Amino acid sequence: MGQNQFVISIVLIVIFTIAFVNFGTQFGIEQGSVIKISDDPNMSRLATSVETDMGTFTTTTNENEDSFAKSSIEDTSQSGTLVTGSIFKSTPVSPLTSMKRIFGAVYSNIFGGDSDFDIILTIITSLVIVISIALAWKTWKGGNPE
Amino acid sequence: MGYAIPSGNTTGIDNMIVDVATAVPIFVPSLLLFIYFTIFLTGFRKQRIESSTGGDMPLWGTIAGIVTSIVALILSTREGLITLPILVIPIVITIISAIWLFASKDRY
């Protein structure tokens, strides 16, 4: 399993957990269940803390994306590698702004702008950023994140 | 001609199930276990026979977990059928199955 597959696995596991626990909690609230999942302290703590962790993941991804855009490779005159890698640095930034706008339209028009879906779309956008940086790095420097 | 209503259970058919669950507390956990393994083993066995690569155990574990969790959630709307630990266990099992499913090496 490569780096990208590993990151995708972890993020999908977390998205599934958030969605499933929130589904159970909302079911209990809307149906007026006698026994609710939110009565269990571990479950309610899990949903909120995992969402907080994913907020940190988004922030860290944005910071890493900034540092990637400012990075450069030392010229050894033998590697034949681009020093600035500006072509790769432009790739993750501009199209991802469009991705955010696309997800924004999906969020407003399909999910009705409900705040419960906000974290899911934010995580997916961050995941796309991570994969883009990893693949750009692979092409630029010749590493193998996959 | 109406159907004959069982005596002592005229307030609703769910009372009969609640009476069973009260008299035999293992009834609801056994029911959920039965649902889980029926789906898991049926799907896994069918796929194993039809597919050359064998059955997908994490996938069927997750499907069975989701269905069992939803049945448990429906049971939680009525008092006396299910307790909080029994409600949470299928959800935790589903999350564990999903971890196995998404972390499977051959899935990507």
Phi-psi category of residue B5: left, alpha or beta, with phi > 0 → left and psi -120 to 50 → alpha: beta
ipTM entry: 0.81
Contact status, residue A136 vs residue A4, Cβ threshold 8 Å? no
pLDDT of B67 reads 96
Give the per-residue pLDDT at A75. Answer: 67
Mean pLDDT within B10-31: 85
- The C-alpha angle B88, A20, A127, rounded to 5 degrees, equals 140
Q: What pLDDT is attached to residue B41?
A: 93
Q: Which chain A residues are closer than 8 Å to B108 by Cβ?
A: 1, 5, 8-9
Rounded CA-CA distance A89/A7 in Å is: 21
Q: How far apart are CA B105 and CA A108, in angstroms?
A: 35
- Residue-level pLDDT at B87: 93
Looking at every residue in chain A, the average pLDDT score rounds to 80
Residue type at A81?
T
Residue B99 inside a domain? The answer is yes
Q: Please give the pLDDT value at position A94.
A: 65
Scan for tokens 């988004």, then name that residue: A58
**Interchain contact A56–B (C-beta under 8 A):** no
- Contacts with B51 (C-beta within 8 Å, 6 or more apart), sequence order: none
Closest residue of chain A to B102, computed from CA coordinates: A9
Number of folded domains that form chain B = 1
What letter does residue A74 receive in the DSSP assignment? -
pLDDT digits (tens, 9 = 90+) for A99-138: 778 877 887 887 777 776 777 878 888 888 888 888 877 7
Structural domain includes residue B17: no
pTM for the model stands at 0.80
Measured between alpha carbons, how far is A89 from B17 in angstroms, rounded to an integer?
A: 64
Token pair belonging to B63: 């499907």
The encoded tokens of residue A88 equal 């790769």
Query: Pick the residue with more confidence: B54 or A21?
Result: A21
Please state the separation of Cα A42 from the chain's center in Å.
Answer: 25
Q: Tell me: the pLDDT tens digits for B39-77? A: 999 998 988 888 877 778 899 999 999 999 999 999 998
Q: What is the pLDDT of residue A61?
A: 86
* Chain B environment of A1 (Cβ under 8 Å): 103, 105, 108
Q: Is residue B79 included in any domain, yes or no?
A: yes
In terms of CA atoms, which chain A residue is nearest residue B78? Answer: A34
B61 belongs to a structural domain: yes
Average pLDDT value over all residues in chain B: 86
Residue A123 sits at the vertex; the CA angle it makes with A69 and B104, to the nearest 5 degrees, is 105
* Domain-embedded: residue B56: yes
A37 touching B, CB under 8 A?
A: yes
- What average pLDDT score do residues B80-100 get? 92
Which residue, chain included where needed, has tokens 């907020």?
A55
Q: How confident is the model at residue A92 (pLDDT cuts 50, 70, 90)?
A: low
Does residue B50 sit within a domain? yes
CB contact under 8 A, A37 and B91: yes
Local confidence band at B92 (pLDDT 50, 70, 90 cut-offs)? very high
The CA distance from A34 to the nearest CA of chain B, in Å, is 5
Instruction: Categorize the per-residue pLDDT at B27 as very low, low, confident or very high, splitting at 50, 70 and 90.
Output: very high
CB A108 within 8 A of CB A132: no
Say which residue, A28 or A121, is predicted with more confidence: A28
Rounded Cα–Cα distance for residues B93 and A101 (Å):
36
Rounded to 5 degrees, φ, ψ at B8 are 85, 0
Closest by Cα among A129, A136, A131 to A59? A129
Alpha-carbon gap, residue A115 to A103, rounded angstroms: 13
Q: Does residue A54 belong to the interface with chain B, where contact is any CB pair within 8 Å?
A: no
What average pLDDT does the segment B84-92 reach?
93
Q: In whole angstroms, give the CA distance from residue A46 to residue A86.
A: 41
B77 shares contact with chain A (CB less than 8 Å): yes
d(CA A141, CA A36): 52
Contact B73 A33 (CB under 8 A): yes
Is B90 inside a domain boundary? yes
* Minimal Cβ distance to B76: which of A5, A34, A43: A34
Taking 3-state DSSP, the helix, strand and coil percentages for chain A, each rounded to the nearest 5, stand at 75, 0, 25
Domain that holds residue B104: 44-108
The verdict on residue B23 lying in a domain is no
Chain centre distance of CA A49 = 16
Q: Would you give the end-to-end CA distance of chain B in angstroms?
A: 60
Note whether B103 contacts A37, CB cutoff 8 Å.
Answer: no
pLDDT exceeds 60 at position A140: yes
What average pLDDT score do residues B30-38 get? 96
